[in-house]
Amino acid sequence: MTRVRNVLLIAVALILAAIYLFPLYWMYVTALKTSTAMFASPPIFAPRNPQWGIFASVWQERHMAGYLWNSLVIATSAVVLIAILGVGCAYVLARYRSVWVDAGLFLVLMLQVLPASLMVTPIFVGFSQLGLLDYPRLATVLAITAKAMPFFVVLVRATFMSVPMELEEAALVDGNSRVGAFFHIVLPLARNGILVSATLIFMQAFGEFVYSKSLIQEVGLQPASVGLNTFMGPNSVDWNRIMGYASIYVTPILGIFVLLQRKIVSGLTSGALK
């Protein structure tokens, strides 16, 4: 009885997942179609003559190496900066209970919710007055850091809450300094949670668009999200090539996600609600 039930439920679950993930399938399939197959009616659901060459040619023609390199530089710098600043902040906010900690948490939560598209006007004007726009990627990294760090703090704080404080106290009794106990005891225990949160932030920063689009004018310094936006244009019909670009851009993210799925999901749920 339970076996029949399970088989039935798994079948329904697979169908639901297939429907939900169809847009991704359609992206890959379209990328592999010829220009005529792409516009066939009725649509072709399994390409007969896959054009594997499209990826190399889009990569070349759209200068994707440069775009993806910029995405990587921006996302990596932002994550490193966020981790350096955010881990300590999350630790202190998790370790104590006081009015000040509540106030700090409140501030962090409030800064987390400010939409980038509403903050970019003063950031653009202010950064240009300070001369920061001469270093557009740095300016973007700073803006992304300020935007994404609060979320990171919330997630990592949840991790620190689950590290028993007795372990740190024992280390202090054994003669460790606070710095020593922090680096040798607390950080290693929270390492997994920190890595998962950093991965999540990396994926967000890798796809960031508003700040990159507004602060980086020079095409050679723009990330892949802006490159995709430029490629799409208002009347574009090159859908197989656009889907080829999208596939190249998104596949690494999908790979990371599938590998770390379980941890990402649990890290996310512990931070956002609990």
Partner 1 sequence: MRNGLSTFWDGRGFDLLLVGIPLAFLIAISGSALVYNVVMSFQEVGMFTLGSFVRPFAGLKNYAEVLSDPQTWPILGNTAIFVVGSLSGQFIVGFALALFFGLKFPGSTYLRGLFLVSWVMPGLVTGALWSWLLAGDFGVVNFFLRSLGIINENIFWRSDPAFALWSVVIANIWFGTSFNMILLSVGLASIPEDLYEAASLDGANVFQRFFTITLPMMRSTIGALLSLGLIFTLQQFDLFAALTDGGPNNASNVAQYWAWQLSFREYDFARGATVSVMMIIVVIAAALFYVRSTRHEVRG
DSSP character string of 174-203: TT--HHHHIIIIIHHHHHHHHHHHHHHHHH
**Tokens 């639901």 identify what position?**
16
Provide, rounded to whole angstroms, the least separation between the CB of residue 14 and partner 1.
7
Decide whether 50 or 95 has the Cβ nearer to partner 1. Answer: 95
User: If binding is defined by CB under 8 A, does position 35 make contact with partner 1?
Assistant: no
What is the number of helices (H) and of strands (E) in the chain? 13, 0
Q: How many other CB atoms are found less than 10 A from the CB of residue 141?
A: 25
Q: What is the DSSP string of 120-166?
A: HHHHHHHHHHHTGGGSHHHHHHHHHHHHHHHHHHHHHHHHHHTS-HH
- Residue with Cβ nearer partner 1 (65 or 183): 183
Question: Smallest distance from the beta carbon of 173 to partner 1, in angstroms?
Answer: 14
Select the residue interacting with partner 1 from 113, 164, 166, 220 (CB under 8 A).
113
Residue 244 near residue 31 (C-beta atoms within 8 A): yes
3-class SS of residue 217: coil
Nearer to partner 1, 25 or 167 (CB): 25
From 50-58, 60-68, 141-149, 184-192, give the range in contact with partner 1 by CB under 8 A. Answer: 141-149
Looking at 64, 74, 93, 221, which residue binds partner 1 (CB under 8 A)?
Answer: 93
The yes or no reply on residue 69 touching partner 1 (CB under 8 A) is no
Contact between 189 and partner 1 per CB under 8 A? no
Q: Which of 114, 165, 170, 259 binds partner 1 (CB under 8 A)?
A: 114
Per-residue contact track with partner 1, 230 to 249, x per CB under 8 A? Answer: --x-x----x--xx-xx--x
